[in-house]
Structure 1
């Protein structure tokens, strides 16, 4: 039985194509009889095995990336997860994640599964994720993906890729509106509102907050007939703290976000947002 000769050039070529280690590349070529494409498949299968072996690991690190098209009418935000801060700060991992985001922005996939099925070079994003798992040895995946289409969509990335935000506004993009959108996106990153306004908070959340307020009021010995009125006051405070347009603007606590936007351009409002954060 003849043995296929694997040259150093072959190993280096496979290493450059896949990023896998030299010994892994030599073994892949040996196992595949020197066939380059089969060797790539072998490494991907190795990645699948690594991913399966690490499926119980927490992957709370990674990067959050937000992007919008030049017209500012469409944007995406996603999280590519990793297990350690060391990998999160690795430039190759960051570049890979940015490439995934760029592909998502160009193709507008409906969800994470559709995103992973898109082509990245000669393979799918799903395949490339497995190659990264094989190379780095950590659980790596796209675990969240959101998109917004609107009159003006502004992206923002906070804290060295720790938080990605998209916010949409009701007027077409101008320099002033884009700058205001960035201010609001920074507010969303910092203050983590539950919704744009009260109408977008789930009724179950409101009922729970009200019930907790009444329970607290009664426990403090207040008369039961006063509990409803006091609870409404607490609920109003909850809305002020947790709805974007009612929060005090972090750059000027004397105005709310709604008032700030209206001062930039009359009638300018925030319509929706997406916030993706690590951890």
Structure 2
């Protein structure tokens, strides 16, 4: 299979790895990007694990919570140009939609809901003629919890966090900001998807097998790498971004009752 220059540059953009290494990885995996990334990681290249994101050519996202702070949404509207996605008219329209979004549980219900005598979908269609670009509601995510906080960064990354009880807003916001910045894959070890854990173990074993060490030492190295993977990628075990002396769990324990838990979170990015 012939690998195109655009494929190579796309993999380079995702991984940050050199052009020739990207070309070899794509050639070895017949152009499969996911397998090419695994190939590079098995070689020992440090590449961030693929997490929840949406490949939108252009657009913006926003998070919002209701007055009671018990429900929150992330919605995202795609368009055709970066210029429009950053314009005040586009962002004001997105914000207007967001203010009503937490009243509904699914994207379909939201799009068909009425707003001043028009459906949300009709409002989007009308804006197509105004902006002269194709628009589509690409993202709709929702969290319900006894206490929900939100955070949006540059309208390109947005997070929601649901807590088991109401807590100080500034502390909750710090955790939402941490999630936005550090992009955990799960709250804790038991919530890591089994297929992801299996794949990570395979990659680690492949890396360690190349070491000229006794099997007993290799098993200890595998255990250490798995532990590091869990610590670096699960929310409660991650080092708090504002104080690396604390994990998020320790930050929570120090800040309020140990009985308060993070029920769920969502983090969406577009690129």
* Partner residue in 1 for 2:226: 235
Structure 1 distance, partners of 2:218, 2:106, is: 45
CA distance in 1, matches of 2:161, 2:71: 10
List per-residue Cα deviations over 1:74-128 (Å, max 9, x = no partner).
11111111222211111111111111111112x2x22212211111223211111
Match status 1:65 vs 2:62? yes
Write the distance in 2 (CA, Å) between the matches of 1:115 and 1:60: 23
Judging changes above 3 Å, is the alpha-carbon distance between structure 1 residues 139 and 227 closer, same or farther for their aligned structure 2 residues? farther
Deviation (angstroms), 1:61: 2.3
The question of whether the paired residues in 1 share the 8 Å contact of 2:77 and 2:139 is answered with: yes
Aligned to 2:93: 96
Superposed displacement of residue 225, structure 1: 4.1
The yes-or-no answer on 1:111 pairing with 2:106 is yes
8 Å contact 1:249–1:257 — kept in the other structure? yes
2:49 counterpart residue number:
none
**Conserved? CA contact 2:185–2:233, under 8 Å:** yes
Aligned to 1:27: none
Give the number of the structure whose alpha-carbon radius of gyration is greater: 1
Matched, 1:170 2:201: no
CA offsets, 1:147-190, max 9 Å, x none? Answer: 1111210011112x1211101112224xx2x2111000100111
RMSD over aligned CA atoms reads: 1.6
Partner of 1:14: none
Runs of 4+ in 1 over 4 A off after TM superposition: none
Q: 1:191 aligns with which of 182, 200, 206?
A: 182
Residue 272 of structure 1 pairs with residue 264 of structure 2: yes
- Give the superposition deviation at 1:209: 0.6
| Structure 2 portions without partners, runs of 5+ | 1-54
Structure 1 unaligned residues grouped into runs of 5+ = 1-57
Residue in structure 2 matched with residue 201 of structure 1 by the alignment: 192
2:160 aligned counterpart, secondary structure:
strand
Distance 2:109 2:72 in 1: 16
Residues 135, 182 of structure 1: CA spacing in aligned structure 2 closer, same or farther, 3 A cutoff? same
2:146 equivalent to 1:151: yes
Task: Please report the TM-score for the alignment, with normalisation by the length of structure 2.
Answer: 0.75
Shift of the alpha carbon at 1:59? 4.0
1:139 to 134, 141, 147: 134
Q: TM-score, normalised on structure 1?
A: 0.73
The answer as to whether partners of 2:76 and 2:139 remain within 8 angstroms in 1 is yes
Paired position in structure 2 for 1:250:
241
Q: Distance in 2 between matches of 1:223 and 1:190?
A: 39
Q: Distance in 1 between matches of 2:220 and 2:134?
A: 51
Aligned twin of 1:17: none
